[in-house]
Amino acid sequence: MTDRLTVGVPLNQGRAYDILIGRGLLDEAGARIAALGARAAIIVTDTNVAALYAERLSASLEAAGLRSGRVTVAPGEASKSYATYAEVCDGLLAHRVERGDIVVALGGGVVGDLAGFAAATLRRGVRFVQAPTSLLAQVDSSVGGKTGINSPLGKNLIGAFHQPRLVLADTGTLDTLSEREMRAGYAEVAKYGLIGDATFFDWCEAHWAGIFSGGPERDEAVAICCRSKAGVVVRDEREDGERALLNLGHTFGHALERLTAYDSARLVHGEGVAIGLALAFRFSARLGLCPGQDAGRVANHLALAGLPTTLGAVPGGCGDADALLDAMAQDKKVRDGALTFILARGIGRSFIAPGIDAAEVRAFLDHELRAG
The residues that are catalytic are: 124, 146, 188, 229, 239, 243, 247, 250, 254, 269
| Under 8 Å between Cβ of 312 and 371 | yes
| Cα gap 186→255, rounded to integer Å | 20
| Cα gap 210→191, rounded to integer Å | 17
Q: What is the dihedral of CA 326, 327, 328, 329, to 10 degrees?
A: 50
Q: 15: Cβ–Cβ under 8 A, 6 or more apart, which residues?
A: 163
| Cα gap 72→54, rounded to integer Å | 10
Helices 292-304/198-213 angle, 10° precision: 10
Degrees (nearest 5) of the Cα angle 121, 139, 187? 115
Cα–Cα distances in angstroms (integers) from residue 355 to residues 93, 336, 339, 362, in the given order: 44, 9, 5, 14
Nearest CA-CA partner of 103 in 57, 135, 59? 57
Nearest CA-CA partner of 282 in 296, 269, 263? 296
Nearest CA-CA partner of 176 in 48, 323, 67? 48
